[in-house]
Amino acid sequence: MPHILPPTRSCRLMLAGLSLTMGLPAALPAQSGAAEGIRALGAETRAGRPLPLHIGGRVVATDGYRRQWPGTYIEGAFRGPSVDLGVGPGAVSLRIRVDGGAPMPLVRPAPGLYRIAARGAGPHRIRVDVASESQAGWTVLRGLFAPTGTTPLPAPAPRARQIEFIGDSHTVGYGNTSPTRQCSQDAIWRTTDTTLGLPGIAARHYDADYQVNAISGRGIVRNYGGFAAPTLPDAYPYALFDGRTPATTPGWNPQVVVIALGTNDFSTPLKPGERWADRDALHADYERRYVDFVGRLRRHYPRAFFVLWATDLADGEIKREVGKVVDRLRAGGERRIAFVPVDGLGFTGCDAHPDTDDDRRIAAAIERAIDARPDIWTRR
């Protein structure tokens, strides 16, 4: 069974610049796919007192919390029978948990307030996770609010452990819950669930706060099929995909940084007009830029442990190249680093991406590398 399938409709749309892989087509209307326990409130309802929040991921505090990188989450606490969630513009798929219960989906909600029911008077904790990818534009979480009869409580404390995930669609969880590889653009969007992908699995395993700084289709020096857009290292410094808004996250100092980049650099052949004369030139550029990128991260996170992982796609080319990057980093004196090759995945998600079983296997491999260094969590 081949691991790389011919470009599907979603890839062709991405390459044509009509939709950057995960952007929701504008023709699709806003909907409120709300689970039982979630009720849309009328436009006349005014927001109550805001709950203090613990926020995970990169956000820009304006008209609520503007966000675009995957994996954003907000957490709050309250006493009372319900709490209100404010949602702003932008297509988003949310997973809402009260007191650690089963996730309740809120898919493509229209802007407004949504009342979330709780059992009993409390106290209660609530967590709202973004499951979808938002390449086409930012979305807004306005916050959590206390209606009449509910009292805001202090925000949950930040967790002692922090993990940052950097990568492409394999980190995002692109189409990982799909029952088939053949997916429409809307199906890709709906079946992408970062909470069930590598970041969500590993963060729950370690009870860690996390950031997911990943974009489907992007590489270290080359994007999928050579399409023009900022590569991941170029987009990384910014809070939004605008190349203007710097990312600032006070208190963010992860003990572990997990990186997977290279699938998009190497999974398609070079085309006429690309800047590399041949594959060897592409390899050399990739290795140099990846080493530079990790060096930049090391200066920012001087005590972090880096895990670079790769699959055996593209006849092992990606895995070999990432291995060379790790060798070069070690030769340059880097010691707090591990290379984790992951082989034999099923790739039954959309467009032959990892499915949720694959995500669990990837997470287990990375967890073994982390657990082999028990000092990781004691160093900041």
**Which residues have C-beta within 8 Å of that of residue 352, sequence separation ≥ 6?**
3, 4, 5, 181
- Rounded Cα distance between 292 and 86, Å, is 41
23-35 burial by CB neighbour count: b if 16+ within 10 A, else e? bbeeeeeeeeebe
State the maximum Cα–Cα separation within the chain, in Å, rounded to a whole number: 67
Q: From the candidates 19, 93, 134, 169, give the one annotated as an active-site residue.
A: 169
Beta bridge partners of 202: none
Helix (H) or strand (E) holding 327: helix 317-331
**Which residues have C-beta within 8 Å of that of residue 44, sequence separation ≥ 6?**
none
Return the closest-CA partner of residue 194 out of 323, 78, 356: 356
Return the closest-CA partner of residue 1 out of 349, 374, 346: 346
**What are 189's two structure tokens?**
């969007």
265-to-26, 71, 222, 353 alpha-carbon distances in Å: 29, 23, 5, 16
**What are 12's two structure tokens?**
């062709």
Helix (H) or strand (E) holding 139: strand 139-146
Mapped onto helix, strand or coil, the DSSP state of residue 305 is strand
Whether 169 is a known active-site residue: answer yes
Mapped onto helix, strand or coil, the DSSP state of residue 318 is helix
**Which residues have C-beta within 8 Å of that of residue 4, sequence separation ≥ 6?**
267, 313, 314, 352
Positions marked catalytic: 169
